[in-house]
Homo-oligomer: A and B are copies of this chain.
Amino acid sequence: MGNYTIIKKSKKSSARCGKLKTFHGIINTPFFMPIATKGVVKTLSVEDLKNLKARIILSNTYHLMLKPGIDLIKKAGGLHKFMNWLGPILTDSGGFQVFSLSKIRKIKERGVMFNSIIDGKKYFLTPEKAIKIQEDLGSDIVMALDECTSYPCDYEYAKKSIELTFRWAKRCKEAKEDKSHIFCGQASPFCPKGSPQKVRDKKQLLFGITQGSVYKDLRIKSAKQIVSLDFDGYALGGLAVGEPAKKMLKVLDYTIPLLPQNKPHYLMGVGRPEQIIEAVKRGIDMFDCVIPTREARHNRLYLWQGKADITKKNFYKVINIASSKFKADLLPINQGMLKKYSKAYLYHLFKTKEPLALRLATLNNLEFYLNLMLEIRRAIKRGMI
């Protein structure tokens, strides 16, 4: 028995509904992971996340490594306990930020050397270290270390890069297999009561990441390589890095059929609501993106156009709540968690730079995204997409 079970397959598309078992609970797929970059979903407490019915969050190894440091989190009993979040956590390998944030970095066969964006301190991240760190964090889903190419990316570079990603993936797999039982033995002090019992397989899940930029032959080769290593799930990396939306969907079209259907498929860093729907139709089960949280902090609210209906064209809108047209709009922000707060009040909070503004906007956008996923799951079950 694997950790992923499909409960409904669409007849109209490659979309599917399933259940993913993790150490800290079962999650219905397709799902969206709010981002807790530094061990906190910006502006929100874990009580807020519970009220939002968020099931899983993503946290960034790179940032946690720099601050507060992995040793402290390990000492705290893992990331769950440190941040007081008792649901599942996916951590990335740190690779993406090494490639996107650090100005100074050197890729070697053994791993990647980079300088901290905080104090310039040197770090050396290897596949084995990326695994060890995520074991110390106690993540439910561990990501392999890959090289994430930027866009556009030279063909020759991308070709060499997928080979490195393959070799690193193998090392991650080996490093993880050595350690999984040690982790199991910890009996999870940070586990919610009863939850470990519900989950039969207590080990951390390890996901492999496929690369290859937007080159079909490289994507296919990388997918085959990574799949040959038999991971618990498969991610598509190196997308949503600036390439046109159509190119990204094409990559999904020819890559996903190569992934095992009985394993979860994760599209990293995506995306806007319509992109998520298109990806789900192609067989993606997992998403993460900064859009809902980051845009909230820039006054941008995601709202349904009328009743929630993802099969409608233009089913949502994005408004700038700091625009003067909302100054005297006394209608509710939304029909959900914020139905008792008016748009005029949120406008006022933004205009007076009250910290609550950022939180209410974040709640609105995450509620929208989580409801979007709920609507997607419903639509699949009802045979609508």
- A interface, CB within 8 angstroms of B: 38-40, 42-45, 67-68, 72, 75-76, 82-84, 327-328, 330, 340-342, 344-345, 347-349, 351-352, 354-356, 358-360
15 contacts between A and B (CB under 8 A): A38-B352, A38-B354, A40-B356, A42-B354, A42-B355, A45-B356, A45-B360, A72-B344, A75-B328, A76-B342, A76-B345, A82-B344, A84-B340, A355-B358, A355-B359
Q: CB within 8 A of A83: which of B44, B345, B359?
A: B345
Closest Cβ neighbor of A347 among chain B residues: B68
Number of copies: 2
Return chain B residues, CB-CB under 8 Å to A45.
Answer: 356, 359-360
A322 to chain B, nearest CB (A): 13
Known contacts A40-B349, A75-B330, A76-B342; can you find 14 more A-B pairs with CB under 8 A?
Answer: A38-B348, A38-B352, A40-B354, A42-B355, A42-B356, A43-B355, A44-B356, A68-B327, A72-B328, A72-B344, A76-B330, A83-B345, A84-B341, A359-B359
CA distance A359 to B348 in the complex (A): 19
How many angstroms from the CA of A76 to the CA of B347 in the assembled complex? 14
A39, A68, A356, most chain B CB atoms within 10 A: A356
Bound state CA distance, A10 and B349, in angstroms?
43
What is the CA–CA distance of A354 and B341 in the complex, to the nearest angstrom? 24
Contacts of A341 in B (CB 8 A): 84
Q: Which residues of B contact A342 (CB under 8 A)?
A: 76, 82
Are B67 and A345 in contact, with the CB atoms below 8 A? no
Chain B residues with CB below 8 A from A327, complex form? 68, 72
Q: Is the CB of B345 within 8 A of A82?
A: yes
- Shortest C-beta distance, A69 to chain B (Å), equals 9
A39 CA to B360 CA, complexed, in Å: 15
Distance from A237 Cβ to chain B, minimum over Cβ atoms (Å): 26
Which B residues lie within 8 Å of A359 (CB)? 45, 355, 359
Q: Complex formed: what's the CA distance from A341 to B344 in Å?
A: 34
What is the CA–CA distance of A342 and B84 in the complex, to the nearest angstrom? 9
Contact call B38/A345, Cβ cutoff below 8 A? no
Closest to A330 in B: B76
A348: B residues at CB distance < 8 A:
38-39, 67-68
Residue in chain B with minimal CB distance to A352: B38
Alpha-carbon distance A352/B354, docked complex (angstroms): 19
- Smallest CB gap from A356: residue in B: B40
A51 closest partner in B (C-beta): B47
The 10 closest A-B pairs by CB, nearest first: A68-B348, A43-B355, A84-B340, A38-B352, A40-B354, A40-B356, A76-B330, A355-B355, A84-B341, A72-B328
The residue in chain B whose Cβ has the minimal distance to the Cβ of A328 is B72
